[in-house]
Amino acid sequence: CVALTAAVSALAMGPHLGLALPLGALPTALLEMALTLLVMWLQRRCFRGALLALRARTTNMDTLVALGTLSSFLYSSYALLGIDPAAGGTGGVHLYFEGAAGILTFVGVGKYIEERVKVRTGDALGALSRLAPPLVTVREGGCERALPPAEVAVGALAVLKPGMRAGLDGVVREGSGHADESAVTGEGLPVEKRPGDPITSGSTLVSGSLTYEVTRAEADSTLGRIIALLDRVNREKAPVARLADRVAAVFVPAVALIALITLGGWLLSGASAGEAVGFAVSVLVVSCPCALGLAVPAAIMAGTGVAARHGVLFKGPEALERLGGARVFCFDKTGTLTVGQPRLRVVGAADGGFMSTIIAGSLERHSDHPLARAIVAAAGEAALLPAEGYVELPQRGVGGTVLGERYEVCNLSRLAELGIGTGSLGPEVEAGMGGGATALFLVAMPAGGPQLRCAFLLSDGLRPDARAAIADLTAAGVATEILSGDHEAPVQRVARDLGIGACHAGLRPEDKLALVRSRPGVVMVGDGINDSLCLAAASVGVSLKGATDIAVDSASVLLMRGRIHDAYKAFAIARATLANIRQNLFFALVYNSVFIPVAAGALYPALGLALNPMAAAALMSMSSLSVCLNAFRLTALRLPDPALPEAAPAARWRVGIAGMHCEHCVASVGRALSSIPGISAVEVSLEGNAATLTAEAGVGDSVIRGAVEGAGFKVTSIGAA
C-alpha cells in the first residue's frame, strides 16, 4: 500500500511540478484510479468493519475512514469524466485519488504495527508455562525417577538439588537449603528452607539439598494458579473505546443526514439535479473525515516517535491513551525500585573493613549460602586466605582459623548465644537492621573470650534515578504505591527513602492483582514473574528492559534503557499526546462546523457564495494539514534526564613497598591491590619498589595498607601520585 500510494502521489503531483504526463491526462488519471482501487482492495477490512458497524446500527473509526475514502474516490471518479482526452493536461479538473489512497495507507500502517504487537499476547503464557520444569524427580521405594508434574500425586516425595526448580508446591521433610523465590514472591534474598517450611512452585534451590512432600497438584500449585489467572486476565481485557470512535458515533450520521437534507432541499427549491448533487458532494467532501481520521493516528505516531527517542516503547495506541489518564503508579520493589543485588557495607571495622572482609570471605568461600557469596565477591577471590578447621554452625554461621586466629561469621542469634551486644559498633548496625538490611558479624574467638570485630550489612540499593522518578510523578499529581512480596521492613525503608505515599508488603501475586483491580487508572511497574498478572490486568503495565521475559510480554510499555525515571517520561509523553489528540479533534470539528453550512449552500441565495467540490477538497486538505502540523508539535517535546548522583572523582596514589624481590612478589602485590573494591589501573614496579593505582573516593590508605601487608609486604609510604 505504501508503494502504491507513493506511485499515485507521484502521478498526481507531476503536473503541479511542471512535469509532462507521458501517458496523457486521461490514461494517467485512469492509472491513478486503478492503483487507488488496488489500495482499497488491499485495505478492504476497513470497509468490512464499516459495514459490520452499519449492520449493528452504529459507527466507528472504520466508518470514518470508509466515508472519507469513498467521498474522495467517488468525487474524483465523477470529476474524471470532465477530462478532455485530446487535451495535454487535465483541463483544470482536480483529482484526489492520492487522498483516498493516502488515508487508507496511513491507517493501515498503524493497524499493521498494532497487530504485530498483539501477536505477542500469548507469549507471556508460553514463557510462564516454560518456567515449570518438564519433569519432577520423585523418590519411591528408595529409588528416584523423573515424572511429568501432572502425573505426580499429592503426598509424593519430590527431591530438589542445587539449580533445580520446584515444579509443585510442597513442605520440606528432609534436608535444608536456600531457595530463590524472587521470581514468584518478590523476596529479594534467597530464603532458608528447613523441615516444615513450604516450597513454592517456580522457586529455584540455590544451595543445599532437600526432599519435600507435594501438597498440591499441578493445576492448584502457585505457578499453575498464576498461569490460569494470567490467561483469564488476557481474555477478559476489553479493547479501549477510542475517543475518535465516540466522536464518529455522532459525527458520521450527522454528516450523512446533512448531505441528504442538502440534496433534497435544493431539489425541492427547483435547482437542477446537477446543482443539487454538486452541493451534496461538496458537503461530503468538505466534511470528509480525513482530519478526524488523522487526529488520533497522527498524534500517536508523533508521540511514539518522541517516546522512542527517550527509550520508551509503547506496544500499541491503547497503552499510550490509557497511560495519559493514569491516576496511580504502583511499583514492585525488588529489581524495579532497587537494583536487585545485595550491597555490602562494613560497620565498625578498625582496619577500614579490608582485612575483616578478607577474613570473612576466606571463611565464607566454603559455604554455598547466597550471602556468603556476596562477601566473597566483595573480598575478591585473589585476596582470600587459607582457612583451617572450617565448621558450619547450622542456622547460625561458619567458623574457622585464618592467619592463626579463630573466627566466626555469624548472625544475630549466634551473637546473642555468645553474650555479645552490638552496642560497641555504634547505632549504625541497629539503624541498618531497622531499615531492612541483613546483618552478619565477624567475631574473633581468642582464649580470653569472643571479641566482636565488625558487622556486615547487606541490603538491596535503590536505583540511582528512583528518587527523581517518584518526585516527578508526585509533582504531576499522580499517587505512588509499592506492591511487594518482600518483608515489611525493607519495603517500608524503600517507601520512606523515596517518599512513596503507601506501601503493601508480603503480597502474593493474587493479592497484588486484587489491589490493582480495585481501582481505575492504575499503572503497574514491575519486572518479575510475580508481577506478570498485575502488568496484564492494570490499565497499563510498564516493564524494564532486562526484566523477565514474562514481565516484558505481559507489559504494554517497555522502558528500553532500563531506567525507572523513564516511567515518568512515558507518562508525560502519553499525557501530552492525549492532549494533542483532543486538540486535533477540536480543530477537525471546528473546521467542519464552519464550512459544512457553506458547502451546503447556506450563503448562496443571499451572497452568491458557494463551494464547488474542488474548493471543498482544497479546504479538506487544509484541515488535514492543520491536524498534522499540530501533531508535529509533539516532536519538540523535551524531557531532560534527571541529575543523578555523580561518583566522586578518582584519585591517583603512589604506594612505596618494601620486601619485593621478584616478579612473583610483584604479581602478589598486584593481585592484592586489584582485589580492593574501588581500585583500578594498578601498576607495580620492582625497580621503584612502588605501586601506582587509581582509587575511588572512600578507599582510604588504611585499606590499601592492609591489602599490601596482608600479602606479606611492608608499606613504606602512601601519597598522591
Instruction: Tell me the C-alpha distance between 124 and 271, whole Å.
Output: 64
- Which parts of 348-462 are beta strand (E)? 388-393, 397-402, 405-410, 438-444, 451-462
Judged against a pLDDT cut of 90, whether residue 172 lies above it is answered with yes
Per-residue pLDDT, 205: 87
Share of the chain above pLDDT 90, in %: 15
Return the minimum-mean-pLDDT range out of 296-300, 393-397, 568-572, 659-663.
Answer: 296-300
Query: What type of residue sits at position 22?
Result: P
- The cell numbers describing 413, all together, are 542469634
Instruction: Tell me the C-alpha distance between 439 and 441, whole Å.
Output: 7
Judged against a pLDDT cut of 70, whether residue 61 lies above it is answered with no
Q: Which residue do the cell numbers 536505583 mark? A: 463
Q: Which residue do the cell numbers 507531476 mark? A: 14
Burial, 14: exposed, middle or buried (Cβ in 10 Å; 0-12, 13-18, 19+)? middle
Q: How far is CA 667 from CA 48, 711, 719, in A?
A: 77, 10, 21
Instruction: Tell me the C-alpha distance between 264 and 256, whole Å.
Output: 12
Active site residue 497: no
Q: How far is CA 599 from CA 69, 278, 567, 590, in A?
A: 19, 9, 47, 14
Provide CB contacts within 8 A for 665, sequence distance 6+.
Answer: 659, 686, 713
Average confidence score pLDDT of the chain:
79
pLDDT digits (tens, 9 = 90+) for 424-481: 888 888 887 776 778 899 999 998 899 999 999 887 778 888 999 999 999 999 999 9
DSSP conformational letter for 149: G
Catalytic-labelled residue, pool 62, 180, 245, 332: 332
Position with higher pLDDT, 597 vs 278: 597
Q: Rounded mean pLDDT of 351-357?
A: 80
Kindly give the residue spans of alpha helices, DSSP state H, lying in 452-554: 466-475, 488-498, 509-517, 532-537, 549-554
Kindly give the residue spans of alpha helices, DSSP state H, lying in 81-205: 97-118, 123-131, 182-185
- The cell numbers describing 27, all together, are 490514461
Per-residue pLDDT, 420: 92
Residue 559 backbone phi and psi in degrees, to 5: -90, 100
Provide CB contacts within 8 A for 427, sequence distance 6+.
Answer: none
- The pTM for the full model equals 0.59
